[in-house]
């Protein structure tokens, strides 16, 4: 069970790295989860939208793909991230759309963004470990609260209480993401 807990912690930081970096590069996400998928193959996932195959968008998407492993490396120094094959493959596939860019440069940019946004990544990972799943509004609230110098530990529960009250009035109401 201890090994499973460690894997879940790695996954939380990995997914938070994708989310925050994507948010900074204007890829808006839907949901973050550290719950295994139905087939049991994937422990965590993030869903994002807002990109196309233009050169700038492809570059940013590659950076987001690399950010999961970068966050994992920063959270657990000396340990090489596992489970990054899919991200690496998707980044590699996109590299063909960005001639004259190197994997090394894009990984360096990903690492810079992860370090620059470490407080938000850590906070989202912490909340993912607590609640297992965050919708886009929840993780955006955490990032925005940190950016504004607020206490996300207070802001997020207030949002959840507001949503609970609204759902009691309209049970069909769902988060935007």
Q: What DSSP designation does 98 have? A: S
Rounded CA gap, 85 and 99, in Å?
A: 22
* Residue ranges covered by each domain of the chain: 2-135
Q: Can you give the pLDDT at residue 27?
A: 80
Report the range of poorest mean pLDDT among 100-104, 123-127, 169-173.
Answer: 169-173
Residue 28, pLDDT above cutoff 80: no
**pLDDT tier at 3, thresholds 50, 70, 90:** very low
Q: Can you give the pLDDT at residue 176?
A: 55
Of 103, 34, 27, 37, nearest to 70 by C-alpha is: 103
Q: Are 92 and 106 in contact (CB under 8 A)?
A: no
What pTM did the predictor assign?
A: 0.85
Percent of the residues in the chain that have a pLDDT greater than 90, as a whole number? 54
Q: How far is CA 153 from CA 22, 76, 117, 135, in A?
A: 22, 24, 17, 16
Domain 2-135 has CATH 3.40.50.450: no
Rounded CA gap, 67 and 1, in Å?
A: 27
Q: Can you give the pLDDT at residue 49?
A: 54
Rounded CA gap, 4 and 23, in Å?
A: 28
3-state secondary structure 108-175: HHHHHHHHHCHHHHHHHHHHHHHHCEEEHHHHHHHHHHHHCCCCHHHHHHHHHHHHHHHHHHCCCCCC
Residue in the structure block whose two tokens are 């295994």: 36
């Amino acid at each position: 069970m201890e090994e499973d807990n460690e894997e879940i912690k790695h996954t939380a930081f990995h997914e938070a790295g994708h989310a925050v970096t994507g948010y900074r590069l204007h890829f808006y996400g839907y949901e973050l989860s550290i719950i295994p998928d139905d087939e049991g193959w994937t422990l965590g996932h993030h869903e994002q939208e807002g990109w196309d195959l233009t050169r700038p968008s492809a570059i940013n998407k590659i950076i987001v793909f690399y950010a999961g492993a970068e966050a994992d490396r920063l959270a657990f120094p000396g340990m090489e991230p596992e489970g990054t094959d899919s991200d690496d493959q998707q980044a590699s596939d996109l590299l063909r759309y960005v001639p004259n860019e190197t994997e090394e440069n894009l990984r360096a940019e990903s690492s810079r963004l992860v370090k620059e946004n470490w407080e938000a990544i850590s906070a989202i990972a912490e909340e993912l470990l607590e609640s297992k799943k965050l919708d886009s509004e929840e993780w955006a609230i955490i990032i925005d609260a940190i950016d504004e110098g607020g206490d996300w530990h207070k802001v997020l529960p207030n949002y959840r209480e507001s949503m609970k009250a609204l759902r009691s009035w309209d049970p069909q109401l769902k988060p935007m993401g």
